[in-house]
Structure formats: structure tokens, C-alpha cells
Amino acid sequence: MTDVAADDLDAFRGEACAWLAENFPASLRGGQDPTRAPGPQVLTPDQTLWKQRMADKGWATPTWPAAYGGGGLSAAQARALQQEMDRTGAYNPMYGMGLMMLGPTLLEVASEAQKARHIPPIVRGEVRWCQGFSEPGAGSDLASLATRAEDRGDHFLVNGQKTWTSGGQYADWCFCLVRTDTARKHAGISFVLFDMKTPGVEVRPMKLISGASPFCETFLTDVVVPKENLVGPLNGGWDIAKRLLQHERTGISGNAKPAAADVPLAELAKRYVGLDAAGRLAEPDLRARIAANDMAAHAFQLTAERVLKETKSGSPSAGSSILKNAGTRMGQERDELRLEILGMAGIGWEGEGFEDGELRAVRTWLAGKATTIYGGSQEVQSNIISKRILGLPESTQG
Amino acid sequence: MAILTEEQAMLRDMAKGWAQEKNPVAAFRRMRDSGAPLGYDPVAWREMAQMGWAGVLIPEDHGGSDFGYLSMGLLLEETGRTLTASPLLASAVAAASTLRLGGSDAQKAKWLPTIAAGETVATLAVDEGPRHAPGQVALRAERAGDGYRLFGAKRFVLEGEGADLLIVSARTAGDPGDLEGITLFLVPGDAAGLTRARLSLADCRGAADVFFDGVALGDDAVLGTPGEGFALLDKALDRARAGLAAEMLGAASQAFEATVDYLKTRVQFGQLIGSFQALQHRAGRMFMELELTRSTVEATLAAIDAGSPDAPLLASLAKAKAGETFNLVSNEMVQMHGGIGMTDAHDAGLYLKRARAAEATFGGQAFHRDRYARLKGY
């Protein structure tokens, strides 16, 4: 796809603007996105209508090919669309691992039949995907994974245990890394897809420090996976996984954007700390740190925009490691500052005596601790930056 | 490590043994999961009191042992290691110190013996908003006949749900923010017009909002000099801050040790993760911060025992430093454990939540940096 000429882009912008005016329900304007938690989503009639319309239009996945139901837009058009959506107050009603990670990867590496089968339901937000990568003994060292897939002629027989399966208890399908060759580490891994209802798949939710259970342990016992669900070549799964993880990183750093319901730190501090006679926040120490976080967010946003512009295809590069580390650090600092501003109200857990925003602050802060661990920990990202980007030598000491 | 007397060494060993064997983190977890309304285990508190811990700061003629703040710090450090929840800080340190510093003979005779025995749980009711601001007192004490009536509310009172005695800062003159015109009152927990609303906090300790609707008190309820309560309160708060810093030091120490143990056992990329230099350096940094924190905590406790004028400055130093270190170590505990540290079944989250609750209690780092600068005259 090449960018269209400026005139055409203006024409598209007008078209997008008109379509949004006609199709985005007025009742949703300025309201909150429906919950993006992994649990069952309860939508209002207007939210359902909006999801349906975006599914038909393909604009939840604006740059994906129209042949699979995507929007078929150029990167420039997609940016214009996003700007118009922001202006209208419209949100993207589709989300999840299918949209963020698997879809873009399948478009790059899957067979025609696999794309035709799996992409359209992602575009329409009809199938929920979970990721079967990490194992109890394979965290940062993902390539040491041990879940076995034995070749049984027309199918693989899969046995092993996965962990940190996001939304595993609600997912319809799983994309999974399995070992198909025990003699080679990276070159013995394959990338397969399976239906979560397949006999032998058992999920157990894990309770986290935030009190939520967004992840599961997934036990795989004699799970039959048809050969047609092997993506890419046999033993070629590692390269696909790396590609997919780059998409994941970009998605996680995107979470650096605060939730719409959260008041900006400065506004919150005005309320809890107050202003001095000159109109400045009454605590200079806190004020300086809020400003530092504000500036970190600003620099992050500018970097994210620059990376997007400079990457012609709009696909992620090694720069995704920088965005992930910068975005998650800034987000965690923001969550820490929010607690600090709230004082004792920032450690409220539940029940009476606290406002919703206060209770949300502590849960958000705790849940956010995972962002520097999953999707390749901050340490792994730093290794990628120093070795792959800077070309520094391998450490002899590890 | 401070040089301890033989008695102090025995006290520390006893505390270490009791906390690690009888009251490990698993005991705190059980208390939490049982939904204990008081935010502590009364059986464990009785054991602590039977060992004399509630009377360490109370004179012998009032039933205590008068071992001093350095000794109390040892108890708080050792029980802090295992996150033991108890009224030790609120009752045996904060409230006992206030009574000892400002109480009349009659008031001391009335309350200190039962506090020393752990039978009375006492606490300070100071703050009226979520952020520590002991001078911002709006709660009114109005003259009524031979006594006073209290109107207003206190928020986030430690052990507020179960306290038998509350030491309440009230305004008898001036406006919120004025340090003059604050008077401290001894208010029995069963006083008419006093109501409480329990708060559920992330660290599962006992806390409550307390409301005063015309609570009637006699003149004998005034602690110290009317209108001059802030100086007494500030002194008492420094003792509570020092004690809390000792608890935070203990908790951060155990969180650190558990993390170093994990670095020595977890294998990734075919080697112990503790062999990675990036993690070694971060562990080294934490150890350094813990050593710096220990120096500030021990110096503060010793200064209080010695009656040194440096105690307020040191208390702010220790509380700020302990907050900084405990935040660092609890964050690293989660990060270095990776995914397992994010699970509720692991202890890392318990330390993380306690770190932030302790940070917000009796003033956080920003509060104490500001106070430190003021005390130094800039």
C-alpha cells in the first residue's frame, strides 16, 4: 500500500467524518468505552450497534486487506481515520489478542486457507484468542519451553502446561508454541492454533495481587491439533513468535495511555493537595514529580508518533523495545504518583469510605506492575536494545 | 547494627524466634483471608502482650519495663519482617508515648497499666483527610459546662475499629492549619456520640473513620496543656514515625532476602538468574539502601532514648529513607520474581501493599523532605 496523494487524503477524511457522523451512536459520545476486561462483555444496544457497524465497515482493522473483511486503508488513511474518531469521541469497539497480535502475524505468515478462516472473525470481534507461550519453567527464557507436540500423521498430540494465559477461561481459540524437536532449542519450536474446547484442554484461573484473575494456567493433556493448524513451517515457530511479540510490545506500550475514566494527575492533585496563593500545586516536591511524569508521557507520545511515521509499513520494528520500556516505566510512575496524591485513600481496597476513582487507583497500580514483566520483561527488552540495536557483544557473564 | 545490651539482644532473639516460627507471613495471610474485622489476630496480640512487648515504653511503676525506643524498634523490626499485624505501633508506641510525654499522674495511672498489659488498645486520632497533615485540625472542642463537647471526624485512624481509647486532636481556638489552639483529648472508645466506620485497606490492617457528634468530656480528659497540644502531638508522632520506620526496615529486609534467595535458585537461559550482572547490580544497590536505612532508624531511636534535640530531624530522615527503600525493594521483589510475584499466592504482593500503606502513614517521603528542610531552616 502506498500513501495516496494529499487531495485524496482530504477526500477520505471527509468521507470518514461523514460516515462517523452517521454511524457512531450519539449516545456513546463522550462516554466511556465498554470494559476491556477479559471477562464476558455486556454491551448496551447502542454499543452493540456500533460494534456491528464497525465490523461491517472493517474499520476496527483499518489497514487489513478488504479481502478478509478489513478496511483496506493505507497507513495515512488509517491515521486520518483515527484522528477523525478522536475528534468525534468514537472508540474502536474491537480489542484483544486476535486484533493486536495474532491477526497482523497471520497476515504476514499464514497460508491462504488459514487467513480466510481466521482473519474475518477477528475483524468482526467474534472469536477471542488467548496466547499459549509462557510455561512455569519458561518465562523470560521462552525458548526453553517444553510442551511437546508429537507427530501422529494427520495431527499433533500435544502435552504440557502453559501459564499466564490471558483470558484463558473466556477464550475461544489459542495460538500456542509447542516443541516439535527436542534436539534443538529455538529451531525445535512450532506455532499451532487450537480450539479451546478441544478435549484435554483445562484452564485454571490464577488470582493476582490486584485481586483480579485475568490469567490462567492451561493444562494440555493429549490434545489433538490437526496438521492444518500448523502456522508456517514445522520447527519454524520461533521466528513467528518473535514477530508476534513485536506486535504485542507495541500494544502494551499503547496501554501507556491512561484509562479515559482516570483524572489527569495534575487535576487530581489540585483536589487532594490544593493550590498555593500563586496558583501552583501546594506541594512543590510533588508538583515537580508530576511535571516530570507529564513530560515523560509527552516525550513518549511524540516518540510513538515519530516511530509510526518513520516506519513506512506501519509494522513494528526493533524500536518497539524502546517504546515498551519507556511506556511501561512512565505508566508505572504515573500509577505510583496517583497513589501518593491520594494518600491513605490511595490504599483503599473495597467497600465504604472510598470513591470509585480511589479504589480503581490501587487496583490499576497493582495490575500495572505486570507490564514490565509480560510481553518480554524490561530486562529482556534492554538486552534486545543493547545487543540487537547497539550491537554490543554478548556478555561472557550473562 | 546497633550495639545492643544483653537484655536487648535477648529481646531481639525472642522477637525473631516468635515472629519467624509462630507468626510467619503465612499467619498474616490467614488473618487476612479470615476477614478478621480488627485487622489483627487477637490471640497473637495477647501473646505479644504476655511477653511484655506492649509495655516496653511504659515506666515500671505503671506496669511496663521502660526498655526504651531502641528496644521497641527491635520488636517492630522483627515483627515487621513477617508483616505481623498488631496494635504494637498504634497503642504501645504512638498512644503510650503521648500519655507518657503529656499525661497527668492520674491519667498515666489510669491508662498506662492496661496499655502495658495489652488489655487496652489505644491509638492516635490525628488526620482529617487522606493525606497526613497534623496541623489541619477542624474537629471542634466546644466549652460546655465543666467540660467540652467534640464535633467532627477523624479519618484513617489506625486500629480505629477496635480501639478502647482514642487520643484525639481537637481545635479549641483558631482555624485549621493554625498550630496554636490545638488540644489533645483522651476519649474512651465507648463514649456516647462516638461512631466508627471500618475501612478496608490494601494492606488489611485495622483502620477506621471515627465520627464525634457532641461527645461530652470532662476537663480531666484534656491531655497536656489546652491550646498547646500540637507540640506534644508532634513529639509523639516522631516516636510513632521512628517506630514505623523500624517496622518498614524489617519488612524491606525480609523482602530483600527472599528476593536474593530467588536469584540464587531460579534458572533461565540455562543459568541462575542471579548470575546476570544487571540483576547483581540492582541487588547490590538494594543492600546499600538497606544499610543506609538501618543507620537512620537506629540513630533516630537512640536519639529519642537520649532525649536529643535532633530527634525530630532524625525521625523525618528515617521515615523518608525507610519509605524510599521499602518502595524500591518491594517493587524489585515483584519485578525480579517475574510473573510468580504478581500472583496473590506469593508474598511479594503483601510486601508491596504494606510498603505503600506504611509510606502514607504518619507522612510520606514528600512530607518528611519538606519537614526536614524546615527543621534545618531552609
Q: Determine contact, residues B157/B39, Cβ cutoff 8 Å.
A: no
d(CA B8, CA B72): 9
The reply to whether B291 falls in a domain is yes
Contact B342 A209 (CB under 8 A): yes
- Nearest Cβ partner for A343 among B130, B200, B275: B130
In this predicted structure, what is the pLDDT of residue A319? 76
- The phi and psi torsions of A49 (rounded to 5 degrees) equal -60, -45
- Residue B341 pLDDT more than 60? yes
Quickly list DSSP for A6-50.
HHHHHHHHHHHHHHHHHHS-GGGTTSPPPP-SSS-----HHHHHH
CA B206-B179-B164 angle, to 5 degrees, is 30
User: Known catalytic residues of A?
Assistant: 248
Tell whether the torsion through CA atoms of B171, B172, B178 and B184 is positive or negative: negative
Q: Do residues B244 and B354 both lie within one domain?
A: yes
Last residue of a domain, one of B212, B227, B242: B227
Q: What is the model's pTM?
A: 0.87
User: Domain ends where: B227, B257, B278?
Assistant: B227
Residue B236 within a domain = yes
Amino acid at A153: G
Query: Are B261 and B314 in the same domain?
Result: yes
Same-domain check for residues B236 and B369: yes
Q: Which residues of A touch B262 (CB under 8 A)?
A: none
Is residue B249 classed exposed, middle or buried when 0-12, 13-18 and 19+ CB atoms within 10 A define those classes? buried
C-alpha pair distances (Å), B46 with each of A264, B66, B164 = 46, 19, 15
Q: Find the Cα–Cα–Cα–Cα dihedral B16, B17, B21, B25, rounded to 10°.
A: -10
Give domain status of residue B61, yes or no.
yes
Q: What are phi and psi of A329, to 5 degrees?
A: -65, -45
**Residues 271-300, chain B, touching A (beta carbon < 8 A):** 271, 275-279
CB contacts, 8 Å: B199 with chain A: 348, 351-354
> Positive or negative CA dihedral for A334, A337, A343, A344?
positive
Residue B266's domain is classified under what CATH number? 1.20.140.10
Tell me, yes or no, whether B243 and B166 share the same domain. no
For residue B275, the chain A residue with the least C-alpha distance is A398
Contact B343 A208 (CB under 8 A): yes
Alpha carbon of A254: minimum distance to chain B alpha carbons (Å): 20
Between CA A225 and CA B328 the distance in angstroms is 45
DSSP string, B156-223: EEETTTT-SEEEEEEESSS-TT-STTEEEEEEETT-TTEEEEE-EETT---EEEEEEEEEEEEGGGEE
Question: Between residues 201 and 260 of chain B, which touch chain A (CB distance below 8 Å)?
Answer: 201-204, 207, 209
What total number of domains does chain B contain?
Answer: 3
B278 within domain boundaries: yes
Residues B221 and B233 sit within 8 Å (Cβ to Cβ): no
DSSP assignment letter at B118:
T
Residue A200, min C-alpha distance to chain B (Å): 25
The reported pLDDT for the residue numbered B286 is 98
Task: Give the amino acid at A322.
Answer: I
pLDDT of residue A318: 63
Mean pLDDT by 10 residues, chain A (398 residues): 68 94 88 66 89 95 95 92 90 90 96 97 94 91 95 97 92 97 96 98 95 92 98 97 82 57 89 95 95 94 83 62 92 96 96 92 94 90 89 73
Q: Are residues B200 and B289 located together in one domain of the fold?
A: no
Question: CA-CA distance, B124 to A55, in Å (whole number)?
Answer: 59
CA–CA distance, A384 with A120 (Å, rounded to integer): 33
Residue A182 burial (10 A CB sphere; 0-12, 13-18, 19+)? exposed
pLDDT at A1: 42
List the single best residue of A344, A369, A396 to mutate versus B (max B Cβ within 10 A). Answer: A344
Closest CA to A177 of A111, A242, A116: A242
Residue B295 belongs to some domain of the structure = yes
Question: Could you give the count of Cα atoms lying within 13 Å of B38 in the half-sphere of its Cβ?
Answer: 14
**Residues B365, B249: one domain?**
yes
Can you read off the three cell numbers belonging to residue A150? 508429537
Question: B46 and chain A: CB distance < 8 Å anywhere?
Answer: no
Given a cut of 70, whether residue B109 has pLDDT beyond it is: yes
Q: Would the CB atoms of B352 and A209 count as touching at under 8 Å?
A: yes
| Enclosing domain of residue B102 | 6-120
Chain A nearest CA to B158, separation (Å) = 11
- Say if residue B96 is in the same domain as residue B138: no
Read off the DSSP letter of residue B3: P
| B287 located within any domain | yes
Query: What cell does B275 get?
Result: 548470575
pLDDT (0 to 100) of residue A250: 66
- Asked if A206's CB is within 8 angstroms of B278's CB, the reply is no
B235 and B370 share one domain: yes
B46 & B146 share domain = no
**Contact with chain A for residue B154, Cβ under 8 A:** no
Asked if residue B258 and residue B364 are part of one domain, the reply reads yes
Q: Across the interface, which of B271, B348, B366 has its CB nearest the CB of A283?
A: B366
- Does B135 share its domain with B113? no
Of the three residues B88, B120, B152, the one that is the final residue of a domain is B120
Residue B1 lies in a domain: no
pLDDT of amino acid A31:
66
| Pairwise CB contact (< 8 Å): B200 & A348 | yes
- Do B286 and B326 reside in the same domain of the chain? yes
B275: Cα separation from own chain's centroid: 37
SS (H, E, C) B35-76: CCCCCCCHHHHHHHHHCCHHHCCCCHHHCCCCCCHHHHHHHH
B interface test, pick of A268, A281, A347 with most B CB neighbours within 10 Å: A347
- Rounded-to-integer distance, Cα B263 and Cα B275, Å: 8
Residue B74's CATH number? 1.10.540.10
Q: Give per-residue pLDDT as tens, B139-164.
A: 999 999 989 999 999 999 999 999 99
| C-beta of residue B215 within 8 angstroms of C-beta of residue B154 | no
Interface of B with A in 25-44 (CB under 8 A): none
Angle between helices A6-23 and A45-57 in degrees, nearest 10:
150
Are the CB atoms for A206 and A38 separated by under 8 Å? no
Residues contacting residue A79 through CB under 8 Å, at least 6 positions apart: A308
pLDDT confidence of B3, banded at 50, 70, 90? confident
